[in-house]
Amino acid sequence: MADQAIPFRRTLIANAVALAPSWGALAILWWLDELAGRATLFAMAGIAVVTVFLVQRYLASLATFARFVGELSDEREPLMPRLAFAPATEELATAAATLSTGWRRQRASMDSLAASAQAIVDGLPDPLIALDRQRRIVRTNLAAALLLGNAGPERDVSTVLRQPQLLAAIDALLETGADGNFARPDQSAVELVLAGPPELDMMAHLRRLPRAAADGSLALVVLHDTTALRRAERMRADFVANASHELKTPIAGLAGFIETLRGPARDDAAARERFLGIMGEQADRMRRLVDDLLMLSRIEQHEHARPDAAVDLERVLRSVLDLLQLKAASRNVRIELELDPGLPRAVGDSDELTIVFQNLVDNAVKYARPSTAVKVAAKPFGGGRIAVAVSDEGDGIPAAHLPRLTERFYRVDTARSRQLGGTGLGLAIVKHVVNRHRGRLDIQSTPGKGSTFTVTLPAA
């Protein structure tokens, strides 16, 4: 630690104060003739030399101490100085160093507390924005930064969320009356739609803190994504509408025929026979629909529980082909089975897998062009999985329909599906069973050429 230059004035005053008593005493002694003039001068000179030396060292120690304390508060960790000429100052320096260490430790723990508070806020899945009394952004969490882009603090929230209802709700939350107290309840909620893509339905929960936080935060805005919920609500409503619509047609048909049989066709034996035939078909159609609906709801109910039996896929596929051989023959469609010789067993439920392949092969046969082949190929797939592909040479499916194909009642050509006896629930059932098996369904289709539906399942 280099010695510090001490201002001359301070040196002068300190020396004068230190010398004054002894020089004063010597001068009085000389004046009273107790001391000779020369002796007085020698004594004064000797005392001056010693005093100046001591005062100089003392002042230097004080200056070193001052610099040490300065460095401590600059958050450096200076070496403890040796202050031999000012022992009391050395004690002060030790105390200051202890104080500074304690303070620094406290700062570090406060910093780490603040960091973990931010980490917790960042860990929240929902976007969170903290606003001050002037509606400016004080801080955001990671989810908010991802959703709104880097909102950057100090900006009015309206620069990132231009939702009039939300801004009005925030203003109401922060509004104070004539008495300076807040005028409204300390929480509210607003629904909003964030323009896409993808368009998101959001519920904004607003809350005012009892008092402003240290960083100025006073209001919290948490955005909760309700898009999936809305979609599920819409799907449920659509589903009920679709199911009733599907049942309405055959019921109306049956009612019509019953009316006719009671009235005009009462005594017409031939018409009665024909109508009863059609009525049987309609009843069959309703039974199929109800069966499919029940199956779908049963699979959905235990979709979370993964089946764990070892299933011999060859047996499953052969039984499916036996069942559909007749239907294929009637359309002049060949079904070809290609089995890998080393095919492992699959993990699953053999009845449910039978339903999956029955639906896929049934579709392939139904939508294949006459006199073509439907190919069913099963082989091991990477990663301990088995792939079963069902391919047809049919009209194929335009790409726009592929993402929605597994929705209930979704059909590319509704009239054709109905005419072929379809309920539009087959692929929805397939999708749910495959999900329950933790498998995958991939659909590839080229319009005009044909389609391939591939199911991948975990191997035992």
Ligand X SMILES: Nc1ncnc2c1ncn2[C@@H]1O[C@H](COP(=O)(O)OP(=O)(O)OP(=O)(O)O)[C@@H](O)[C@H]1O
Q: Which residues bind Mg ion (CB under 5 A)?
A: 363, 426
Give the range of 97-105, 244-252, 266-274, 424-432 binding ligand X by CB under 6 A: 424-432
Other Cβ atoms less than 10 A from the Cβ of 93: the count is 23
Task: For residue 175, give the 3-state DSSP assignment.
Answer: coil
- Decide whether 387 or 425 has the Cβ nearer to Mg ion: 425
Backbone conformation region of residue 371, classed left if phi is above 0, alpha if psi is from -120 to 50, else beta: left
Minimum separation from the CB atom of position 431 to Mg ion (A): 12
Task: For residue 39, give the 3-state DSSP assignment.
Answer: helix
**Cα–Cα distance, 128 to 147 (Å, whole number):** 10
The total number of residues written for the chain in this structure: 460
- Decide whether 307 or 424 has the Cβ nearer to Mg ion: 424
Q: Is 407 in the site for ligand X (CB under 6 A)?
A: no
Contact pick of 392, 393, 432, 455 for ligand X (by CB under 6 A): 392
Q: Which does 100 bind (CB under 5 to 8 A by kind): ligand X, Mg ion, none?
A: none
Q: Is 250 in the site for ligand X (CB under 6 A)?
A: no
Q: Is 417 in the site for ligand X (CB under 6 A)?
A: yes
Burial 213-224 (b: 16+ CB within 10 A, else e): eeeebbbbbbbe
Q: Which of residues 289-328 bind ligand X (CB under 6 A)?
A: 292
Q: Which does 413 bind (CB under 5 to 8 A by kind): ligand X, Mg ion, none?
A: ligand X
Q: Is 129 in the site for ligand X (CB under 6 A)?
A: no
CB 58 within 8 A of CB 86: yes
| Nearest residue to the partner ligand X, using Cβ | 426
Q: Which of residues 426-445 bind ligand X (CB under 6 A)?
A: 426-428
Contact pick of 61, 282, 359, 456 for ligand X (by CB under 6 A): 359
CB 279 within 8 A of CB 318: no
Q: Is 391 in the site for ligand X (CB under 6 A)?
A: no
Q: Which does 425 bind (CB under 5 to 8 A by kind): Mg ion, ligand X, none?
A: ligand X
DSSP state of 157: G
Q: Which does 141 bind (CB under 5 to 8 A by kind): ligand X, Mg ion, none?
A: none
Minimum separation from the CB atom of position 359 to Mg ion (A): 5
Contact pick of 64, 358, 451, 456 for ligand X (by CB under 6 A): 451
- Decide whether 175 or 303 has the Cβ nearer to ligand X: 303
CB 73 within 8 A of CB 85: no
Give the range of 53-61, 257-265, 346-354, 360-368 binding ligand X by CB under 6 A: 360-368
Contact pick of 253, 348, 394, 439 for ligand X (by CB under 6 A): 394
- Decide whether 182 or 239 has the Cβ nearer to Mg ion: 239
Q: Which does 412 bind (CB under 5 to 8 A by kind): ligand X, Mg ion, none?
A: ligand X
Amino acid at 131: L
Both tokens assigned to 232: 């599920």
Task: Tell me the CB-side half-sphere exposure of residue 419, using CA atoms within 13 A.
Answer: 5
**Cα–Cα distance, 173 to 166 (Å, whole number):** 11
Minimum separation from the CB atom of position 131 to Mg ion (A): 54
Number of chain residues interacting with ligand X (CB under 6 A)? 21
**Cα–Cα distance, 49 to 30 (Å, whole number):** 20
CB 167 within 8 A of CB 136: no
> Which has the closest alpha carbon to 220: 195, 188, 194?
188
Q: Is 246 in the site for ligand X (CB under 6 A)?
A: no
Q: Are strands 373-381 and 334-339 parallel, antiparallel or unpaired?
A: parallel
DSSP state of 204: E
Which residues are at the interface with ligand X (CB under 6 A)? 292, 359, 363-364, 367, 392, 394, 397, 405, 411-413, 417, 422-428, 451
